[in-house]
Amino acid sequence: MTERGEKQVSRNSSEFVIGPSSLQWDGNKLTIQILERAVPFGQKIAGTVELYPNSLFNFSTPLDAAGKHRWGPLAPSARVKVNLNSPDLKWEGNAYLDSNEGDEPISQSFHEWDWSRAEMSGGRTSVIYDVREKNAQENILALTFNPNGTIDHFEPPPRQALPKTIWGIQGHMRNQNSESLRVQKILENTPFYTRSVLNSELLGEKVLSFHETLSVPKLTLATTQFMLPWRMPRVTW
């Protein structure tokens, strides 16, 4: 990812342009055109990602008590096709697309959060957002998005601790018991953020959950801020 300045970003009703890359919606699918450089060696990343929603949701809810940060899935269940020519990489599978927006930096409101998504039987998708704010207030969202466009709220299971990462991040997962919870694969492991695939249990089903933990205190550390531009360059002109 590359952070880009205002002059390199534009959008209209069907297209969002970010530097040399873009997102285009044709009413049926979202096409992401990628033309970027990787860090730290500048190797080329180019190709397309196509996302086909199984259903679309016009849903948004606050993540914090003040309502300054909002989240909502656009396509809780979808299909994705990845076709990169640099590097040569092609695959397709199940997908998910959501939206986050805020009126202030996340460091102003949050201490940490755990988020998870699981594909359930019957084409349903369940999401748990377990948020801890800086003022120690907790906000827990436990929602199931159904293929017919309805949304069900459910009582989240107890919070279970996950193994600490090498960076000392203590993640948590809402699961009925610790015995049925297992980290299957770690996808990202950074000083302030981790993303994993978990074997878990939800609403009486054994499921595969995608899970993330964000630690805001670790994000705002001076050492982390020093390292960020090496992973995510910033182009302001």
Are 180 and 174 contacting, i.e. CB atoms less than 8 angstroms apart? no
- What tokens does 52 get? 């086909």
- CA-based angle 90:185:81, to the nearest 5? 20
User: Tens-of-pLDDT digits for all 237 residues of the chain?
Assistant: 788 988 999 999 999 999 999 999 999 999 999 999 888 788 899 999 999 999 999 999 999 999 999 999 999 999 999 999 999 999 999 999 999 999 999 999 999 999 999 999 999 999 999 999 999 999 999 999 999 999 999 999 999 999 999 999 999 999 999 999 999 999 999 999 999 999 999 999 999 999 999 999 999 999 999 988 888 888 766
Separation between Cα atoms, residue 163 and residue 194, nearest integer Å = 11
Verdict on whether the full-model pTM lies above 0.85: yes
